[in-house]
Each structure stands twice: as structure tokens, then as C-alpha cells.
Structure 1
């Protein structure tokens, strides 16, 4: 067995961090970023790799374009102020997150658009048909969720955004999709008890929530167990354990 120690600051890091007005993002160095196909749009490396794989899988390279990925806090502030001036307070609150409360600052969120001569930066067109629709239906298999849905507006604080996708990883995207959950609901879903998920190859994964009330938390794991831990930005950690291969 091996002893694994988690630090409290890890609760604010990882692909499952919750970022909204009630859970602002701590000012931390940006994640490892990569340029999406030379577009100048940046995304965290793992998220970028799987985004490209999903777009390729649906044959969408000619039709789907990245519009906005990672943003610095200063850029988010500028977008907020410019939108407020041009569109007014109500529109801005519905479609633009406050600086420090934007998923774009994590490098895990991407706004996608249908290729066109002109694309609206704040609300790009991403229809539910052709390659765009195929991407939406396959996204969870690659770890992405449509982050802001109409029926979840009271929880997310953001209006429906069919173009905004968030990388949370596998199996979390599938668990959220299958159970009709947004990221705001996922922590409570896991607090109710560990959840199991079977990959397409039959290998099982178990996901559980770990509260981290002190500066450190400890966990004992079998030596050869593969696992991953992500903070949820609410004082807790989400643990994903892969079934051992015998």
C-alpha cells in the first residue's frame, strides 16, 4: 500500500474545478497551454488534444473553428467592460462572466463556432446539425460537456450557450450527461456515494468525493492502482480510480 497526501491548495486545481460567481478562481499561474491548430486560441494541453480528436472524429475540421479559449484575467476584464458598454448590463450578466469567475481563465473552456466569414465573438453560431451537431453528441466521449444549458441557468448563473464546452475528462462528462447534471450539481451527486462507470473496453472506474477540511488529507491506495485527483474548488477533491488489470 502507498500513502498519498493531498494539500488543501489542490482543491482549487484540476479538470473538475467549479468556477462561477460563488466559486471564483484563485489567481494561479496559467496551465500548460497549446495553440489550437495555429489559430492563436489557447487551451490546456490535454483538453486541446482531446478536442482535436473529437473534431477529427466527426469530420469537422473544415466546419468547426475555435473562437475563444484561455483568457488572462486582464483579457476577461476587458471583455466584460467592452460588452457592458456595447450591450448593456443585462446582456453582459447573461453571457459574460465576471473577471475571476470565468471558466476561460482555467484553460479548460472553449467557445466553438461554425466556420463563416464573420463570427460573433460573444455568441458564435454553433448549430445542432451537421458537424457541429455531431460534435455535440460525441463530446462527452472525449471528456467535454456543454457547460451552460437553458434548464440549468438558475444554477450556473449564465444563459444557455450552445457554443461553450468545458473539459472535465472521462468518465465525468459521461456521468454528468447520463444523469442530467451540470458541474454545480456534480459535487453533491458524488457526496451521496461513490459512482461506478464502465469504459467501452469493459474496464471499470470508480469516482468519489473526498472532503479536505484541513491543510492536508491522506489516502492509502494499493501500490499498482491508477488514480487521478482533481479539486472541485469547494474545499473538496474528486478521486477517480481505475480498476486494476490483473
Structure 2
């Protein structure tokens, strides 16, 4: 569902508004799903959406057989190339099963204690790593801390952070947001949300909880959140799930005139539509 779809029903070169029917169960899918202690994993990620990091042999990994969401991984590879950090940055952790998250949580409790674990390790089914959309990165050296890898604010590491939003990544847990995220600052934990969402979040200093809440102020029927860069003009809006969010219903989602669009659930109460109009296109967003 979150993959780019070409706008349909072109009339005289223009795309007209059309509606797609989406099962409410898909609230729990997409690149903008919010995962935290109030919004746990409701739907296991399909294995066909995951790709091994070994598909990009240049990427250094802490362990073999690491997986990430396909789109997330492609953009991570592009980001590492852009920041020229491919030889200095190591992927420490990617997708985890519920069992793996349980083992990591219990191991941290035994080794680091309850206070430390509560700050840095999410409970099973409340970890973004179970979506395949989160990656921990670190400075490549002999001893890499699996729970809290070193990721400095200098050199290629800082360049990675500065370029991340342009490739759809945000530092998920920032200093000053602990009261909202309930996780301590983690300079090494990056979450793929897609572009331009990452750029909007960075521009406004919003964490994902704040962004998802803000998007409810931009319903389809009212003003949309508009983002523009040199390539495209993007309209973003929220559509609440029909039937009070129950998964037995489907929701009719209107798609504004555009060249292509994505739809993502927010893992709570509705869907987020991102409609792209390329510069020079006749589509009228």
C-alpha cells in the first residue's frame, strides 16, 4: 500500500479526483506507522517486504542476515553513498522478530538493569525494529555496542545526519523529546518515514508522535499540508478510518489530482495520503 502508485483516470492530460477502497486493517501498514508504548505492533511485517542488507555488499553490518524494509534499505544505501560514509559507518541492527526483541530486552535487563533498559530498549511488540523501518548505525570500529553504538557529531557521521532527511530518514529519538517518545536520546537510531515527511519533521523539529498528531489538522476536506521543492509540489492530508477504526470496515480514500501518490496507515485511527505533482506536470494538486 505504501508503494508509489501512478495516478489513474487521466482526462485531457489531467488526473481527476478518484477514490480507492482500503481495508481498515491497513491502518497498521505503511512507512508512517507510529510504533511506541501506546501504539504497539498490530500486524507482523510481511517477509516479502524485507530485503537482506547483503543485497548491498558495500554496506558493513554487525551481524549476518540483517534485514530491512526494501525501500528503507535502498534509501539507506543511497544515503551512505551520498555522505561518503560507506567505509566508516556500520549497520548495527535492523529488522527484529518479536522473539528477538524479547531476547534483547531480557538480556539488557540482566546486564544493564531496569532503569537503563527502560531508557534505551523498547518492550516486545513496541519496537520500531519489528517493522523493518528502523536501523541503528554506528562508528565502525572493533568494539561496537549493540544497544548504544557510538555515532559522533563529526565527520561523515555528522554528514549522514545532515543528509538523512533528504533520503527519508529521521533521528527517531532526540534530546528534548523524551517526555513524548518515552525513550532517551539515541543519536544512532534512524527511522525511515519517506520524503518529504522527514524533511517536514526536521524543519519543524517534530518527532513522529508530534507529526502524526499534526497531520490530523490537515483533513482531505480542508487545507492540505503542502510541501514544495525544486522537483515537485506535494499535498499531504489525513483521512480517518471509517467505522470507528474497526478492521472489519473499509475506508474510501479520495486521491487528489497528481502524478503519483502513497497511502500509509498511522497505526492508530486513519490514513495519510501523500500526493506528488511533478514540476511541469499538468496535474493540479
Query: 1-side partners of 2:143 and 2:233: how far apart?
Result: 45
Asked if structure 1 preserves the Cα contact closer than 8 Å seen for 2:33 and 2:266, the reply is yes
Identify the match of residue 229 of structure 2 among 175, 187, 199. Answer: 199
Task: Classify 1:192/1:127 alpha carbon distance in 2 versus 1 (closer, same or farther; 3 Å).
Answer: same
Query: 1-side partners of 2:211 and 2:258: how far apart?
Result: 28
Q: Aligned ranges for residues 1-246 of structure 1 at < 5 Å?
A: 1=16, 2-31=18-47, 32-36=49-53, 37-38=56-57, 39=61, 40=64, 41-193=66-218, 194-201=224-231, 203-214=232-243, 215-221=249-255, 225-243=259-277, 245-246=281-282
- Look at both structures and tell me which one has the larger radius of gyration over its CA atoms: 2
Asked if structure 2 preserves the Cα contact closer than 8 Å seen for 1:8 and 1:235, the reply is no
Gaps of 5+ in 2: 1-15, 219-223, 244-248
Asked if structure 2 preserves the Cα contact closer than 8 Å seen for 1:63 and 1:115, the reply is yes
Task: Classify 1:223/1:146 alpha carbon distance in 2 versus 1 (closer, same or farther; 3 Å).
Answer: closer
Gaps of 5+ in 1: none
CA drift at 1:213? 3.3
Normalised TM-score (structure 2) = 0.83
Query: 1-side partners of 2:213 and 2:256: how far apart?
Result: 27
User: What's the secondary structure of 2:102's corresponding residue?
Assistant: helix
Runs of 4+ in 1 over 4 A off after TM superposition: 222-225
What CA RMSD, in Å, does the superposition of the two structures yield over aligned residues? 1.5
Query: 2-side partners of 1:219 and 1:73: how far apart?
Result: 32
Query: 2-side partners of 1:113 and 1:153: how far apart?
Result: 21
Select between 35-44 and 14-23 the one with higher mean Cα deviation: 35-44
Normalised TM-score (structure 1) = 0.95
Select between 32-41 and 74-83 the one with higher mean Cα deviation: 32-41
Query: 1-side partners of 2:260 and 2:71: how far apart?
Result: 18
Query: 1-side partners of 2:176 and 2:255: how far apart?
Result: 39
